[in-house]
Every structure is written in structure tokens, then in C-alpha cells.
Amino acid sequence: MRFAKVVRMSDDYRDPSGNTEAFRAFVRSDEAPAPTAPPAPAANRTPLLIGGAVIAVVVIVVLVFALTR
């Protein structure tokens, strides 16, 4: 069986994300900030609570029916 030979990588590679100065310059750019959308209104939780209660009642009824037979 023959294996591939792994060659050594050069040491001159620089990680572009490691340059803190360039990142700070990018963050401090003079461009106008993008407009943000208004936050979505909070959802009404009543249907969720009613649905959970209905599911709980159905599960209890099925368990009682299954255990009494």
C-alpha cells in the first residue's frame, strides 16, 4: 500500500482575521449605518397556552382510557 507524502506548508501565511487594526478600521468606517427595521410586536401567547392545555387534556384522557381497559 502506498501513502501520499505530505509536504510542509510555508510559514509566511497570515490569517486575515488576525489583523486587529484592519478590523477596527472596518468597524469605524464613515459609511452611514443601514436603517434598521422596527422590532416586531410581541406575539400573543394565549393561543399557545390554550393549545398546550388542550394537548395536556387529550394526553390525560388517552392515558386514563388506556389504563382502565
* Domains of the chain, residue spans: 19-68
This prediction has a pTM of 0.41
pLDDT of residue 18: 66
What's the pLDDT score for residue 11? 65
- Give the integer Cα–Cα distance in Å for 60 and 58: 5
Higher model confidence: residue 20 or residue 48? 48
Q: What is the mean pLDDT of the chain?
A: 78
**Over the stretch 14-25, which tens digit does the pLDDT of each residue have?**
555 667 777 777
